[in-house]
């Protein structure tokens, strides 16, 4: 008796294609990204961009509306008085962005010290070579109270698939910069002595936002890690 082996072919397109078309997969339908080798399964209601990848280890307890975060809120030792910001200096931290996910807004949370007499405030995303991929407008002297989530909307969202690690960055120039909420200490060996460096300070003496396409220059490793998530 001859046996017939059926072959089931799932949709197979690039990450950029799925991001641009943002389809809603049928419940149980699997679709693959041909360039990243990642896949998602549909539920019949959620658009592609908001679906998690199969095998993703991202926490189900990330903030409402967040696509990703740099720290798992259930796993970190939280501190809300991190003195990681230096006025006029860019603070960078590794950000886990899956290929094809857009970054439209970055969210940072202040600690127990509020902003005083701010002059410049902006945030953005850079790639593993510290080339700036997106930047927010300058929030200048906008108030930033204690224990407050501050959104930094990107002027041109990062939408193309990101290859390799990327970083979020934040710059605040003020008489008193806010303390931040996040993780008090990372392993210096694991985060700062093995490439890519995960947390660092970059350009100093900054005021106005840099242009997309320009690059940051790493200046010093940083142990404290501010909590950041994105939508």
Q: Are residues 198 and 88 in the same domain?
A: yes
pLDDT for the residue 74: 67
With contact defined as beta carbons under 8 Å apart, do 95 and 167 qualify? yes
pLDDT for the residue 115: 97
pLDDT for the residue 147: 94
Q: Are residues 80 and 178 in the same domain?
A: yes
Which sign, positive or negative, has the C-alpha torsion 183, 112, 120, 123?
positive
Q: Are residues 31 and 100 in the same domain?
A: no
What span, in angstroms and rounded, lies between the C-alpha atoms of 181 and 68?
17
Q: Does some domain include residue 121?
A: yes
Q: How many domains does the chain have?
A: 2
Distances (CA, A) of 16 to 102, 148, 149, 158: 10, 34, 30, 12
Q: Are residues 117 and 18 in the same domain?
A: no
Q: Does some domain include residue 102?
A: yes
Q: Are residues 16 and 88 in the same domain?
A: no
Q: Does some domain include residue 7?
A: no
Residues 133-186: tens digit of each pLDDT: 999 999 999 999 999 999 999 998 876 555 557 899 999 999 999 999 988 765
pLDDT for the residue 120: 98
Residues 218-228: tens digit of each pLDDT: 877 777 889 99
**What is the average pLDDT score of the chain?**
82
Q: Are residues 209 and 162 in the same domain?
A: yes
What span, in angstroms and rounded, lies between the C-alpha atoms of 129 and 118?
29
Q: Are residues 72 and 28 in the same domain?
A: no
Q: Are residues 114 and 153 in the same domain?
A: yes
Q: Are residues 73 and 45 in the same domain?
A: no
Q: Does some domain include residue 221?
A: yes
Q: Does some domain include residue 107?
A: yes
pLDDT for the residue 6: 56
Q: What is the pTM for the complete model shown? A: 0.76
pLDDT for the residue 189: 47
What span, in angstroms and rounded, lies between the C-alpha atoms of 168 and 220?
16
Residue numbers in the chain where pLDDT is lower than 50: 57, 187, 189-190
Q: Does some domain include residue 225?
A: yes
Domain that holds residue 19: 12-50
Q: Are residues 199 and 95 in the same domain?
A: yes
- 166-176/12-13 β-pairing: unpaired
Q: Does some domain include residue 5?
A: no
DSSP secondary structure of the chain: -------PPPPEE-HHHHHHH--BPPTT-EEEETTT--EEE--SSSBGGGSPPTT----TTSPTT-SEESS-TTTS-EEEEE----TT--EEEEE---TT--EEEEEEEB-SS--EEEEEEEEEEEETT-BEEEEB---TT----TT-EEEEEEEEEE-SPPPS-EEEEEEEEEEEPPPEEEES---HHHHHSSSSPSEEE---S--SPPPTT-B----EE---EE-EEE-
Q: Are residues 17 and 96 in the same domain?
A: no
Q: Does some domain include residue 59?
A: no
With contact defined as beta carbons under 8 Å apart, do 92 and 165 qualify? no
pLDDT for the residue 148: 96
pLDDT for the residue 67: 79
CATH code (residue 103): 2.60.120
pLDDT for the residue 186: 53
Q: Are residues 213 and 112 in the same domain?
A: yes
């Amino acid at each position: 008796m001859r046996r017939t082996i059926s072959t089931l072919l799932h949709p197979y397109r690039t990450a950029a294609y799925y991001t641009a078309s943002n389809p809603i997969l049928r419940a149980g339908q699997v679709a693959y990204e041909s360039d990243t080798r990642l896949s998602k399964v549909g539920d019949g209601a959620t658009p592609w961009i908001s679906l998690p990848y199969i095998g993703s280890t991202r926490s189900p307890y990330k903030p409402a509306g967040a696509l990703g975060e740099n720290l798992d809120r259930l796993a970190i030792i939280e501190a809300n008085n991190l003195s990681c910001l230096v006025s006029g200096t860019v603070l960078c931290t590794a950000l886990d962005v899956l290929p094809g996910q857009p970054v439209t807004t970055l969210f940072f949370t202040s600690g127990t010290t509020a902003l005083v007499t701010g002059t410049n405030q902006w945030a953005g995303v850079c790639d593993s070579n510290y080339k700036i991929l997106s930047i927010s407008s300058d929030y200048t002297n906008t108030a930033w109270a204690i224990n407050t989530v501050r959104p930094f909307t990107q002027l041109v969202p990062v939408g193309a698939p990101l290859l390799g690690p990327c970083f979020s960055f934040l710059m605040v120039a003020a008489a008193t910069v806010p303390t931040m909420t996040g993780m008090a200490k990372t392993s210096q060996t694991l985060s700062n002595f093995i490439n890519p460096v995960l947390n660092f300070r970059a350009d100093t003496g900054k005021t106005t936002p840099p242009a997309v396409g320009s690059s940051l220059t790493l200046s010093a490793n940083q142990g404290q890690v501010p909590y950041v998530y994105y939508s």
